[in-house]
Amino acid sequence: MIVKRATLEDVRGIVDVHTAGETLSTLSVRERYLRGGPWMSVETLAIHLNNLLLDGQLPVVAVVEGKIIGEAEVFFSEEPLGGKTTRIAHLDVIEVHPDFRGRGIGRKLVRFVEDVAKERGAEFITTQPDEEALGFYKKLDFDKILYKGLLVEISSEEFRSGEVKPLHYFPWEAVKSLQLVAGRFQSSYDMWFSSLRDIFAGIQELIEAGKAGNSFYALKSLPGRPGKVALFLWGLKEDIPKAVGRAKELGFEKVLTVLDEETAESLGAEKKGEVQIIGKRLH
């Protein structure tokens, strides 16, 4: 088995890994995306993978006898971590074909990623694991809890936007030194990239970017959830109500985001789940 950096020639094989056991032949490209993201069809994965490669990020594949049996995706960035700007490698995606699970493929993908991350000067490798994957990462020495938050839903009814300035776009440089205080489901850069760069027309789109007080926000569509929108906000917690108020002005009754427990309680948010980002020090 070899692990290598993925190219656009690997699109079909990566889709086969992510869709193994799925019945998708009667579904449209949009329906496939809604079922599991860009990995569900060649059309959307080609766009997603191309965006990663153009951005200098790291998609990798595990290959046995010419067949792709696993895939991982990593985002490199410098962003606030524990009050200090830190270079991190965030493991956003890892998937192994069902026929090859339990053979150490996932572990080899992570080890390959760690080696590249060290070469690129990353201080930490981080990830946001599913609960059932915590044991896997513990065995690989992911022993630091770097963030805990709540996935919540906020009713926009009582909020007002106030000082809000809609924008078409804002660059990463504008927010890289700011805390992602709302919507930290993955790394800060990961959420900026998926909201403003990795867009799929007619499926997963940016509703609006802008400034709310001294903070930057992005409102992103939630396909299949009418009246709801996802919120990401870089900056100050006190600006979150302004962004929620802006969502109301745009016609959204509910806002889905990730907040710390204290902020969620102050906004009257309804808890939907928990989010935990864990990490491993590399240097």
Q: Where does residue 23 rank: exposed (0-12), middle (13-18), buried (19+ CB within 10 A)?
A: exposed
Alpha carbon of 168 to those of 196, 207, 216: distances in Å? 9, 10, 12
Report, as an integer, the average pLDDT of 194-205: 90
For residue 264, the domain's CATH number is 3.40.630.30
67 and 160 fall within a common domain? no
Residue 104 lies in a domain: yes
CA 198/CA 206 separation, integer angstroms:
10
Q: Is the pLDDT of residue 25 over 90?
A: no
pLDDT digits (tens, 9 = 90+) for 58-74: 999 999 999 999 999 99
- pLDDT tens digit sequence for 126-177: 999 999 999 999 999 999 999 999 999 999 999 999 889 999 899 999 999 9
How many CB atoms lie under 10 A from the CB of residue 249? 14
Q: CA of 69: how far to CAs of 10, 13, 14, 72, 76, in Å?
A: 11, 8, 8, 11, 24
Same domain, 199 and 108: no
Residues in the chain: 283
Residue 16 in 3-state DSSP?
A: helix
**Same domain flag for 168 and 84:** no
pLDDT tens digits, 79-94: 998 889 999 999 999 9
Categorize the per-residue pLDDT at 223 as very low, low, confident or very high, splitting at 50, 70 and 90: confident
Q: What global pTM score does this model have?
A: 0.94
Contact 55, 48 (CB under 8 A): no
Strands 124-127 and 84-96: parallel
Number of domains composing the chain: 2
In a domain, 229, yes or no: yes
Q: Are residues 122 and 217 in the same domain?
A: no
Question: What would the mean pLDDT of 89-111 be, rounded to a whole number?
Answer: 97
Confirm whether 132 is domain-assigned: no
- Model confidence at 283: pLDDT above 90: no
Residues 271 and 152 in one domain: yes
Q: Which two three-digit tokens encode residue 75? A: 């985002």
The domain containing residue 183 runs over which residues? Answer: 148-276
Specify the pLDDT at position 225.
Answer: 87
Q: Give a yes or no: residue 116 inside a domain.
A: yes
Task: Clarify whether residues 204 and 267 are in a common domain.
Answer: yes
Q: Is residue 283 domain-resident?
A: no
